[in-house]
Structure 1
Amino acid sequence: MEFTVQQIADLLQGTVEGDNQIKVSTLAKIEEAQAGALAFLSNPKYEPFLYSTQGSAVIVSDKLEVKKPVSAALIRVSDPYSSFSTLLHYYHTALLASKTGVEEPCHMGAESQIGENHYRGAFSYIGNNCRIGQNVRIFPQVYIGDNVRIGDNTTIFAGAKLYTNTEVGSNCTIHAGAVLGSDGFGFAPQPDGTYKAIPQIGNVVLEDEVSIGANATIDCATMGATRIRKGTKIDNLVQIAHNVEVGQNTVIASQTGISGSTKIGDNCVIAGQVGIVGHISIANKTTVGAQSGVSKSVKETGTIIQGSPAFDYKQNLRAMTVFRKLPELQREVELLKAKSED
């Protein structure tokens, strides 16, 4: 794909300084860009590369004052980072749109339906009585069980597994190896010390515009639904247990585990390697720092917590300062103890 600088500026609602008819065909980092590449400058730390880049065009802030001659054409916008992200989105969408048709061998079960302009990769499997929307991309070796519902414009990458009765909204992305609808971890202890499996008969529901990272797992509900609400983004290697509810536009980073029946609010930020116990609630706009252990409900909107067990972020920082000084404090106590014994 090849575009003129002016076409890109029109897309981003920006203005051009320099030759607006230069053509670009690829995207690159500003420090690595070569002829034909488009880059962007957002962080002032990288401004020196603006004067040495070999790229054909650079997206920059409309407030940037250029201090030296620049060989590349400049596309001036209000927010270079967001504009470049928008461009990446269009580029990625165009690449996905190029995948159409049905590769063989693949399987679609009885009474299943799929919309127009779809793609089904080789060795993909669709069970019985499924309803799949338009412009859906199903990559090779995807498994879709019986009675699954998938909305328009959703992409499911290679090797993902959607168990029976899973529901996925429109404009969702499910990355390679993700598993939706596997059994929740439910076992009843028996008098003889063994465990009896509790049947998990619920499902998983993803609302619109949800992203699920590679090798993430979302368990089906014991009854009802494990629900991920609109706009939420879940990173690779996240575990979400049965009957969890995650609110709208929440982000959850890698290696986080959320135990059963916990409710996460809207617009929360949960950093990497966080553990959250079951049957608690996390208020809207809560931020949980990395490697925290959340053992009780968070009730106030906008709370920031850190640590294990997690508590107020600023108090945690003060506690860590004291913790680092404990060896020194211990020596002082031992010296005072020795003096008192003299």
Structure 2
Amino acid sequence: MEQNWFFPPHQGIRLGDLANQIGAELLDVTVVDRVVRSVAPVYRAKPGDVCYMLSRKSRDELQSCHASAIICDKAISSIIPPNIPVLLASKPHTAFALAGALLYERALRPSRNTSEQGIAPGAFVDPTARLEPDVEVEPMAVIGAGAEIGSGTRIAAGAVIGPDVRIGRDCTIAAGASILCAMIGNNVIIHPGARIGQDGFGYAPGPKGGMIKIVQVGRVIIQDYVEIGANTTIDRGTMDDTVIGEGTKIDNLVQIGHNVRIGRYCGIVSQVGIAGSTRIGDGVMIGGGTGVNGHITVGDGVQIAAMSGVASDVPPGERYGGIPARPMRDFLREIAEMALRASERQKKKGGKDE
């Protein structure tokens, strides 16, 4: 890949310092002063790059690797060429994530769209809004009446912050996002185009066969250190609140219905849809493209495979998959049985042809 000017290399970190900061052991102490400036995949890493390996399946990529260091665990370290220093880590994926954050701090959240700081002349901030010092508001952003925004927060170009919204400190609200009827904690990242706090999908049967809208008068509560992906939508509650727990990470193009409550430190991948009034526990991981029925409970620590359909409650700690979702061991057994029956049918069909 050609030089990436969007994210230029770091000025440099000594390998010894990098090892200390990511909790790794540098096996070759003679290279503590070697400097790394960027990250790269193994197959095209060059001097100055640091990369990582999780599996021996990638060993062929080492033939073209000229990295200044490779992060890996003890089981893989023996296959690393002797000319490439090893940063030994018990959790190499985590260690690499920490290294990337050190080398590319500006890539951790959406960047500024302009070079201006403070309140841009082209922004509209209602006179009744209350902004703490060091808030940035880019051109064409709108801050509604009575809104409150904490110090260190940046509201990017074209974002809309509705009346009386509360946003904490050190948040980033990216371009084109809209936040209504919401209370946002500290250190929250909301990516471009996200829609938070619009009314949910609630209707009652009308007298002439149509539908009558049910008012949605709840809020959205987003706790500290949450990250919400681009074009994700989170509806406000009908009468209660929609809540996203501390540290939860939500991918792009996710739909979260009204009154949903999601626990702490969950991971929800792209194109998941969670219907209204569902309860998601702490530490739940939901794979991409999954649909979750409304008015059910998903317990703490549950893992749901991609493209699943969750129709009923899931007990804590379970691994579910399939449509309808069921325990993973049952799902995989059924898949194996279906494959076996298909193979047997094919054999019989082949025999008749003969």
TM-score, length-scaled by structure 2 = 0.83
The letter of the residue matching 2:31 is: D
> How many Å apart are 1:139 and its aligned residue?
2.0
Counterpart among 32, 55, 65 of residue 43 in structure 1: 55
Cα offset for 1:65?
3.1
Matches within 5 A, 1:155-194: 155-163=172-180, 165-194=181-210
The answer on whether the counterparts of 1:41 and 1:50 sit within 8 Å (CA) in structure 2 is no
The runs of 5 or more residues in structure 1 that have no matched partner are: 334-342
Matched, 1:5 2:22: no
* TM superposition shift of 1:153: 1.9
Give 1:238 deviation, angstroms.
0.9
Taking a change above 3 Å as real, the CA distance of residues 14 and 285 of structure 1, as seen in their structure-2 partners, is closer
C-alpha distance in 2 between matches for 1:110 and 1:230: 31
After TM superposition, the structure 1 stretch with the greater mean CA deviation from structure 2, 127-136 or 49-58, is 49-58
Tell me whether 1:110 sits opposite 2:127 in the alignment.
yes
* Alignment partners' CA distance in 1, 2:336 and 2:24: 47
Does 2:218 align with 1:202? Answer: yes
CA–CA distance in 1 between the matches of 2:198 and 2:143?
17
- Percent identity between the aligned chains? 32
Partners in 2 of 1:269 and 1:314 — Cα distance?
17
CA distance in 2, matches of 1:290, 1:59: 29
- 1:197–1:329 distance in 2 versus 1, CA, 3 Å: same
Q: Call closer, same or farther: CA 1:8–1:223 in 2, change over 3 Å.
A: same
Maintained 8 Å contact 1:2/1:23: no
Counterpart CA distance in 1 for 2:152 and 2:198 is 26
Q: Does 1:322 align with 2:337?
A: yes
Q: 1:326 to 1:43 in 2, by over 3 A?
A: closer
Q: Give matches, 1:1-342, under 5 Å.
A: 1-3=10-12, 4-16=14-26, 17=28, 18-50=30-62, 52-61=64-73, 64-65=77-78, 68-70=81-83, 72-94=84-106, 99=112, 101-102=117-118, 103-163=120-180, 165-298=181-314, 300-324=315-339
* Per-residue Cα deviation, 1:55-83 (whole angstroms, up to 9, x for no partner): 3333344672366431x444444433211
CA distance in 1 between partners of 2:91 and 2:337 (Å)? 41
C-alpha spacing 1:21/1:253, structure 2 compared with 1 (3 Å): same
Q: C-alpha distance in 1, partners of 2:110/2:279?
A: 36
Partners of 1:199 and 1:150 lie apart in 2 by 24
CA distance in 1, matches of 2:283, 2:31: 42
Shift of 1:152: 1.8
CA distance in 1, matches of 2:129, 2:184: 15
The count of residues paired between Structure 1 and Structure 2 equals: 331
State the distance in 2 between where 1:206 and 1:122 align. Answer: 25
Flag structure 2 segments of 5+ consecutive residues without an equivalent: 1-9, 349-354
TM-score (norm 1): 0.86
C-alpha RMSD over aligned residues: 2.8
1:53, distance to aligned residue in structure 2 (A): 2.2
The C-alpha deviation readout for 1:123-165, integer Å capped at 9, x for no partner, is: 22211222212222322211111111112222222211111x3
Contact 1:175 1:213 (8 Å CA) reproduced: yes
Quote how far apart the aligned CAs of 1:48 are. Answer: 4.9
Deviation of 1:246 after TM superposition, in Å, equals 0.8
Distance 2:72 2:320 in 1: 36
